[in-house]
A and B are shown apart, each in its own frame.
Chain A
Amino acid sequence: MGYGVKLTVWGKYACFTRPEFGAERVSYDVITPSAARGIIEAIYYKPAIRWVIDSIQVNNEIRTTNILRNELGSKINKSKVARIVDKKPDENQKVFSDIVLFQDIKKDRQLRNSLILRDVSYTIEAHFEKTKKWGEEDTVEKHYNIAKRRIENGQCYCQPYFGTREFPANFEWAEESPESFYKNVPKLDLSWMLYDIDYAGGRKKIGKDKEKQETYFSIFFRAIMKNGIIDTRINK
C-alpha cells in the first residue's frame, strides 16, 4: 500500500466509449476507473508500481453533445508492416516494389456519430501497489514523492486524455476537493460500468470453431454516486 494522491482533471470534451456502442460512440456518463488510471499513468509510470483508483468525484454537471466525424473503416495489417520491415533491398535498390502501405479515405470512408461529454471536471483519488518487478531500490516514499512533484509541476510523458486521444485533459494537484455539482443528491445510480481490463487474468479463448481468438476479458462494476462521489474500491 502506498500513500494516496489526489488530483483534479478537467477538459472541454470527453468520450469514455461504452463497449457495446463501439461503432457509433456513446460515452459513459462519468469517467471510468480505466481512463482515470490512464491519465495518471501518462503523468508517472514505472514497471514497479500499479495504480489503483480509490474514488472519483464528479465536479461538473453531466452534459452531452453530438458530433459527426469521417473516419476510416479498416486497419493496416500487422503482417504487411512486418514484411516491409524485414524485406531486404534488391540488387537494383528497388525496395517495397509490391507492398504499398497506405489507407485511402475515398474507398474506406465511414461516417461515425459520437455522443460525447462536455465541460468535464473530476477529482481522482488513487494509490499505487507493488508489482512483481518491485526491486530493492524501490521504496514507497520515493515513488510517492516523484509522482507528487510531477503532478504539481505539470510534467507528463504524453498529454493525458479523456478516453480517446483527441480530447486532452488538464491536471493539477488538489489538496482539498472542490465542490461538486451533485453534492446534494444522496444517490444516483449509474448502472454497470467498465472497471478495467483484466490483464492479470491473462488471455482467454473466445470465438467459434475456426477462429480461436484469444483476448483479455473486461470487468464491470456497479457505479453508484453518493453526494457526487463514486467509490471504486472493489473486492476481487
Chain B
Amino acid sequence: MIIEKMVKYYDMQAKYNPESIPLNGYSVAEFAGVIQISEKGEFLGIVSLLQETTVEVKETKKKKSKKKKGMALLDETPVVKTKIITKPTQITVPLKAKRGSNIQANFAWDNAQYIFNVQYNKDTKQFEKAISKKGETGIWFEAFKKLQKAVLGDSDNPSIQAYLNFINTFDSDQHFDSLIKDYENILKWDKNFVFQISSEPDKFFHENDEVQKRWMNYFLTNKDDVLMQCSITGEVLPVEGTHAKIMKFWNAQPSGATLVSSNQESFCSYGRLQNYNSAISREASFKYTTVLNKLLADNNNNIVIDNLTTVFWAMSPDKKYEEIASKICKPNQNIKNDEFEELDDIDEPDKNKKDEEPKDFSYTKQNNYISGLLQKYKNGEKISSVVDVPKDCEFCILGMSPNAGRIAIKYFYIDTFYNFVQRIFNHYSNMSIIKERSYNKDTISLWEIAYETISPSSKEDKPHPLLMGAVSKAIFTGNMYPELLYSKILERIKTDTKIRVNYKRAAILKAFLLKKAEVTNNQKLKEEITYMLNENSDNIGYLLGRVFAVLEKLQIEAIPNLEKTIKHKYFASACTTPSLVFNTLISSAQHHIPKARNKEYLEGILQSVLSKIPNYPKHLNLEEQGLFSLGYYHQKASLYTSNKNKKMEENKNVGTN
C-alpha cells in the first residue's frame, strides 16, 4: 500500500506537473561548478555554480540548547541581521549510479575524485591525490572514461567529439597544482561538477539532444533481466536488484539510506539475494525512490521531530493541500525565510524582574493563520468552510525513522484531507489553555511536546524513541494520547523544583485528560477540565491544587525576597500524599495572612475552596495528581491577571473548552 501510493503520486505529478519531477533515467543532484571545455577538447577552467542568498537572521539561541539561564534576552531588543548563505545548485542529470564501496562512474557528471583525482582530507585540511587502499591512482578516472565511451560510442556531433577528446587527453597530474590553487573554494564543497562545451554556452553537455538520445538507449537496454510478477503493479516486469538511496534523511547514514533492502543474511529467504526478496520492478522502484527523495527535500511535505520523520502528500496535482497541511502542522514556523527557523520561547523571568515585561514582541509573533482558524473551530464553525479545499482528496501520512543504513516505518495512514484537518484542530483545541505570561504562544508544536518530557538542565537527554511516533499516531487517528506522555510530564513536575507547572505542561495534561474522558465516555471528568479556572469543580485533586496556589501566594506576599517557597519544597509531597503535608501548610499560612497585602481576597478564596474539602486524602492517584497540577496552574494564572484581562479572556472563550 505504501509504495503503491507513492507510485501513483509519481504518475499524477508526471502527468500534470512534468517539470516538477525528474523523468525516467534522470535524477537530481547538487553541483558546485561547471567544467568548461573548448571545441578541441582542452580544459579551460571551472565556473562556480554556488548560489548566494541573503537571509534575515534573528539573534536568538538555537532550538535544541537547553542551557537557558538568566534573562539576558529581556534586556536587549532583538536585532535582525542579514546573513549571506551559499548553497550548491540542484540540476536534473542522468541517473545517479549506485555507489557503495564499489567504483561506479556517472555519465556526464561526477565529483572531484572521479574527474580530477583530487581528494580533500578533512584532518589535514589539504588537497591530495586520491589513492585507493591498494595504492593505485587514477582508477576512478579510468572507470569514468570507460563509461563515457560506452554510452557515447562514435559520433560526428562536434560537442561529443570535443568531450571525447577531453576525456582521452586530460591528465589530472599536470593540472593538479593549478586546480588546487585557483579553485580551492569550489573544491572544498566536495560536491559534483557538470560539463559545458564552449561552442554551446547556453546549455550543459548532458542537455544536448544527441547526448540525451544516446543516454536513454544505453539506460533502457540491459542483459540479465529477471522477469517476476511485481508486487506493486502486478505485472510481469524486470526486477531491480538494488534500489536507489534516499538522501537527506535526518540522522541516517550520510551516503543515503534505503527503504527496501535485505542487506543481511537473516533478512533473505527462499534462497533469494538482495532485493529479489522484494520483487519490485525497475519502473516502480525508480518512481518511489524519486518521490521519496523529492518529498524529503521539499519543506512543505515533511516534518522532522527528533528521530521521527513524517512525510505527507495529497493524491492530487494541486499544491495547495500540502501548503495548508505544512502550515497547520508547523504552527510556530517563521515563514518569511527559507530557513524555517522555529521561534524560540523564553523561560520564566527572574524573581527580581517579575514585573517587567519584555520590551519588544516582534519575535514572538504568533502564526495568525492558525490562531484565526483555531478560534473559528472553537466557535463551532465547520472547518470545510474555513479551509478552502474540497473534502474528498485523499491524503497519505507516512512516519519513518532511521536505523543506520535502513529506514523503518512507524505508521502509515490514508484518510481524506478534511478528516486530517479536523483531527489536528481537535488536538490544538484540546491543548489550548489560559496563558500564564503574555509571551506564551497560542499553539504548541510537536517538538515542544517532546522536549517537555526531558529535564531542562540536561544537555544529552533525549525523548523516548517511541514517544513521538505514538503521539503523532494519536493525533492523526483521534485516539488517546500515550500513557507514557502523561507519566513523563508528571515526573517532570515532581522533580523540577524551579519550574513546576508551566504553560506547556499544563496544556499537555489538559489535552491528555480531555481526550481520555472523551474516549472512555467519562462525562464527569470532561466537565471538570476547562480552559480557565473552574470555580464549580468538586474534584479533590483540583481543589487541593487551588489551595496550594493560594498558600504559595500568601507566603510570597508575607515574606518578600524569599529564595525557596513551598513550591520548591512541598509540591511533590502535596501532590502525592496530601494528608501528610497540608495540615502544616495551613497552620504556617496563618502566620502569613496578617502580613499579606491582599489578605481579604486571598483568604476569601481559601475559605471557599476549603469548605468543599471534607478531609485530606492519604494518596492521590495519577489522574487526580494531574488535576492537582491543573488546579494549581489555573489558580495561579487567575491570581496574577488583573480583572480587566480576566474579562477579556472570558469573552474570548464563551462556551468552549
Q: Which residues of A contact B (CB under 8 A)?
A: 18-24, 26, 29, 64, 66, 68, 71-75, 110-113, 115, 190-192, 194, 197, 206-209, 211, 213-220, 222
Binding site secondary structure of chain A = strand
* B231 CB contacts on chain A under 8 angstroms: 18-20, 192, 194, 218, 220
Give the residue name and chain of the B residue nearest to A217 (CB): B228
The answer to whether residues A74 and B271 also contact, given A26-B2, A29-B1, A66-B466 and a CB cut-off of 8 A, is no
Q: In the complex, which of the residues A23, A192, A206, A219 contacts B272, with contact meaning CB atoms closer than 8 Å? A: A206
Q: Is the CB–CB distance between B264 and A110 below 8 Å?
A: yes
Q: Is the CB–CB distance between B1 and A24 below 8 Å?
A: no
* A115 CB contacts on chain B under 8 angstroms: 409-412
The answer to whether residues A64 and B411 also contact, given A23-B267, A219-B229 and a CB cut-off of 8 A, is yes
Q: Is the CB–CB distance between B270 and A216 below 8 Å?
A: yes
**Residue B401 at the chain A interface, CB threshold 8 Å:** yes
Q: In the complex, which of the residues A23, A208, A213, A222 contacts B224, with contact meaning CB atoms closer than 8 Å? A: A208
Closest CB-CB distance, B274 to chain A, in whole Å? 9
Q: Is the CB–CB distance between A73 and B279 below 8 Å?
A: no
Q: Is the CB–CB distance between B264 and A207 below 8 Å?
A: no
Q: Is the CB–CB distance between B1 and A74 below 8 Å?
A: no
List residues 214-255 of chain B with CB under 8 A from any CB of chain A: 224, 226, 228-234, 239, 241
* B408 CB contacts on chain A under 8 angstroms: 24, 112-113
Q: Is the CB–CB distance between A206 and B226 below 8 Å?
A: yes
Q: Is the CB–CB distance between B3 and A213 below 8 Å?
A: no
* B470 CB contacts on chain A under 8 angstroms: 66
Q: Is the CB–CB distance between B267 and A22 below 8 Å?
A: yes
Supplied contacts A18-B231, A66-B470, A215-B276, 6 more A-B pairs, CB within 8 Å: A22-B269, A192-B4, A197-B270, A215-B271, A216-B270, A218-B228
Given the complex of chains A and B, what is the CA–CA distance between A211 and B465 in angstroms? 40
Interface size of B as a range: 35 or more
**Residue B543 at the chain A interface, CB threshold 8 Å:** no
The answer to whether residues A19 and B403 also contact, given A24-B408, A26-B409 and a CB cut-off of 8 A, is no
Given the complex of chains A and B, what is the CA–CA distance between A220 and B466 in angstroms? 33
Q: Is the CB–CB distance between A20 and B260 below 8 Å?
A: yes
Q: Is the CB–CB distance between A21 and B409 below 8 Å?
A: yes
Q: Is the CB–CB distance between A66 and B266 below 8 Å?
A: no
* B407 CB contacts on chain A under 8 angstroms: 24
Q: Is the CB–CB distance between B264 and A113 below 8 Å?
A: no
Given the complex of chains A and B, what is the CA–CA distance between A74 and B266 in angstroms? 5
Q: In the complex, which of the residues B3, B234, B272, B273 contacts A20, with contact meaning CB atoms closer than 8 Å? A: B3
Most chain B Cβ neighbours within 10 Å, of A20, A191, A194, A218 = A20
Closest CB-CB distance, A118 to chain B, in whole Å? 12
Q: In the complex, which of the residues B233, B265, B409, B411 contacts A74, with contact meaning CB atoms closer than 8 Å? A: B265
Q: Is the CB–CB distance between B265 and A73 below 8 Å?
A: yes
* A207 CB contacts on chain B under 8 angstroms: 226, 273, 276
Q: Is the CB–CB distance between A22 and B278 below 8 Å?
A: yes
**Residue B534 at the chain A interface, CB threshold 8 Å:** no
Q: Is the CB–CB distance between A74 and B264 below 8 Å?
A: yes
* A29 CB contacts on chain B under 8 angstroms: 1
Given the complex of chains A and B, what is the CA–CA distance between A222 and B230 in angstroms? 12
* B277 CB contacts on chain A under 8 angstroms: 19, 22
Q: Is the CB–CB distance between A24 and B272 below 8 Å?
A: no
Give the residue name and chain of the B residue nearest to A22 (CB): B267
Q: In the complex, which of the residues B241, B260, B265, B279 contacts A21, with contact meaning CB atoms closer than 8 Å? A: B260
Q: Is the CB–CB distance between A213 and B409 below 8 Å?
A: no
Give the residue name and chain of the B residue nearest to A71 (CB): B266
Q: In the complex, which of the residues A20, A68, A73, A194 contacts B264, with contact meaning CB atoms closer than 8 Å? A: A73
Q: In the complex, which of the residues B263, B279, B406, B412 contacts A19, with contact meaning CB atoms closer than 8 Å? A: B279
* A217 CB contacts on chain B under 8 angstroms: 228-229, 279
Give the residue name and chain of the B residue nearest to A205 (CB): B226
* B226 CB contacts on chain A under 8 angstroms: 206-207
The answer to whether residues A113 and B271 also contact, given A66-B466, A218-B279 and a CB cut-off of 8 A, is no
Q: List 7 A-B pairs, Cβ < 8 Å.
A: A22-B268, A66-B466, A74-B265, A112-B408, A213-B271, A214-B271, A220-B231
Give the residue name and chain of the B residue nearest to A114 (CB): B408
**Residue B261 at the chain A interface, CB threshold 8 Å:** yes
**Residue B469 at the chain A interface, CB threshold 8 Å:** yes
Q: Is the CB–CB distance between B406 and A24 below 8 Å?
A: yes
**Residue B13 at the chain A interface, CB threshold 8 Å:** no
Q: Is the CB–CB distance between A23 and B264 below 8 Å?
A: yes
* A194 CB contacts on chain B under 8 angstroms: 231
Q: Is the CB–CB distance between A66 and B411 below 8 Å?
A: yes
Q: Is the CB–CB distance between A23 and B262 below 8 Å?
A: yes
List residues 180-235 of chain B with CB under 8 A from any CB of chain A: 224, 226, 228-234
Closest CB-CB distance, B311 to chain A, in whole Å? 15
**Residue B280 at the chain A interface, CB threshold 8 Å:** yes
Q: Is the CB–CB distance between A110 and B4 below 8 Å?
A: no
Closest 8 CB pairs of A and B: A113-B408, A24-B408, A20-B278, A73-B264, A75-B265, A23-B267, A206-B226, A215-B271
Give the residue name and chain of the A residue nearest to B228 (CB): A217
List residues 127-163 of chain B with CB under 8 A from any CB of chain A: none
Q: Is the CB–CB distance between B265 and A113 below 8 Å?
A: no
* A66 CB contacts on chain B under 8 angstroms: 410-411, 466, 469-470
Given the complex of chains A and B, what is the CA–CA distance between A222 and B401 in angstroms? 29
Given the complex of chains A and B, what is the CA–CA distance between A218 and B279 in angstroms? 8
Give the residue name and chain of the A residue nearest to B239 (CB): A206
Given the complex of chains A and B, what is the CA–CA distance between A68 and B466 in angstroms? 9
Closest CB-CB distance, B128 to chain A, in whole Å? 34
* B229 CB contacts on chain A under 8 angstroms: 217-220
The answer to whether residues A215 and B265 also contact, given A20-B280, A29-B1, A113-B401 and a CB cut-off of 8 A, is no
Q: Is the CB–CB distance between B265 and A222 below 8 Å?
A: no
Given the complex of chains A and B, what is the CA–CA distance between A208 and B230 in angstroms? 19
* A209 CB contacts on chain B under 8 angstroms: 224
B506-537: CB near A (< 8 Å → 1, else 0) gives 00000000000000000000000000000000
